[in-house]
Homo-oligomer: A and B are copies of this chain.
Amino acid sequence: MTSLDSTTRTADLTDDVRDAVLDVARRSKVAARSLATATRATKDAALQALADALVAASDEIVAANAKDLERGRANGTSEGLLDRLALTPERIGAIADALRELAALPDPVGEVVRGSTLPNGLRLRQVRVPMGVVGMIYEARPNVTVDAAGLALKSGNAVILRGGSAAASSNEVIVEVLGRALEAQGLPRDLVQSIDAYGRPGGVALMHARGLVDVLVPRGGASLIQTVVQESTVPVIETGVGNCHVYVDESADVETALNIVMNSKTHRVGVCNAAENLLVHAGAAPDFLPAALDALDAAGVVLHGDTATQGYAPEGVEVIPATDEDWGTEYLALEIAVRVVDDLDGAIDHIRTWSSGHTEAIVTRDLTSSERFVAEIDTAAIMVNASTRFTDGQQFGLGAEIGISTQKLHARGPMGLGELTTTKWIVTGDGHVRP
């Protein structure tokens, strides 16, 4: 409901909506220029001011959020989604704290990535600079509105937000509060703009604002992300779909494997770095699988398995026969697909066929297995004897994250502030010409 589906095509765009969104993008581009040369002190002060403003406006925001919740309830939205949507003064405080944490992070802008003096005396520097205008298309979580604005501000970018209609009232007030706070800091309001007023066609217009919008980051479910990837002519960073596997090797320590499997699957469901599949070496299965199936079942995890796995199910534990659909599904729920593989090659083949390139884990005590798994699996992150849940910007020490990229271009894995920048080559001579 909140996602742009594939029935929203370019043809639906009216000229009015297109013009309005292009105008937003143009103002965004102009605003971005003033921020590109701002000092870190200016940006950090603004982040603190935004945090203060959100806290001060808590009542206003909670009141707007109540309208979204009411509408959601009337539409029959699930309790889980309503919970994600809900804002309280405490939650607003936490969102504001995240902005303050951003202020404490180093500024990526200005970092000299490479530099040298060439044989002819030219001085060469490759310096990190802001992207310019970042577009965010996301679903019903109003905290993303603030996170995205904060990350963009810290990295020197303007941001254009297209949030889910389910959070429209909350987002409208939040963007207004942020805009007033920016203005009070002497920064342009246009640094943070929303195009929610233009609905889905506005989102489509944003995807086509090539030349004005430098990068689009979709955050949400698989269908939202696929629509943006297919439709957009603006460069996109694909995020988030995680059909993650844990492979338990023949040599794995049973208790270690059990801990990692349980943590990867049940620590938090509904997140992209949760495990959705368990692969077990045939040699490890007799010792490991009965205990694992029992523990998963006891934790309320619905089990799907191949024939071999079914054979290891303890009395009273149901294992539903797994289909190809199971291997390909990101459950985002207490549900897992389990398969017994002949050997490491079998695990690698299975993962190559079904992986979404997010996180793949191996539990092993064998060096060769570990090295081969690391070398032969092509994914954003590989875990050796660790839970898939560690693929996360905060866990990696990158600070706040704008998403987890599952593509190979520009950014792969957790994206922090640095991934919202590009570079510029600066070449200084003394009248140098090519001979």
Residues of chain A touching chain B, judged by Cβ–Cβ distance below 8 Å, are: 33, 36-37, 116, 118, 122, 124, 126, 129, 131-132, 210, 214-215, 229-230, 233, 235-237, 253, 256, 259-260, 262-264, 267, 374-376, 378-387, 389-391, 395-397, 407-410, 412-414, 422-434
A-B CB contact pairs (8 Å), 14 listed: A36-B376, A214-B409, A235-B236, A235-B408, A264-B433, A381-B426, A382-B426, A383-B427, A385-B428, A386-B433, A387-B432, A409-B410, A410-B410, A412-B423
Is A267 in contact with B433, judged by CB distance below 8 angstroms?
yes
Pairwise interchain contact A378-B129, C-beta atoms closer than 8 A: yes
A80: min CB distance to chain B, Å: 21
Quote the shortest CB–CB distance from A207 to chain B (angstroms). 12
Beyond the given pairs A267-B433, A381-B426, A412-B422, 10 more chain A to chain B contacts, judged by CB atoms under 8 angstroms and listed by A's residue number, are A129-B378, A214-B408, A235-B407, A237-B409, A267-B434, A380-B425, A385-B428, A386-B432, A389-B434, A390-B432
By the criterion CB–CB under 8 Å, are B424 and A412 in contact?
A: yes
Assembled-state Cα–Cα distance A336/B35 (Å): 33
Closest CB of chain B to A389's CB: distance in Å?
4
| A431-B256 contact, Cβ under 8 Å, with A214-B408, A408-B422, A409-B409 | yes
* Of the residues B124, B235, B376, contact of A235 by C-beta under 8 Å: B235
Chain B nearest CB, measured from A409 CB (Å): 4
B383 touches A429 (CB 8 A): yes
CA–CA, A423 to B376, complex, Å? 13
A313 to B235, CA, bound (A): 44
- Taking a contact as CB atoms closer than 8 A, the residue among B124, B132, B236, B414 that contacts A396 in the complex is B124
CB distance A434 to B233 under 8 Å?
no
Chain B residues with Cβ below 8 Å from A378 are: 33, 36, 129, 132, 424
Give bound CA distance, A387 to B427, whole Å: 10
A422-B409 contact given A233-B229, A253-B431, A431-B253, CB 8 Å threshold = yes
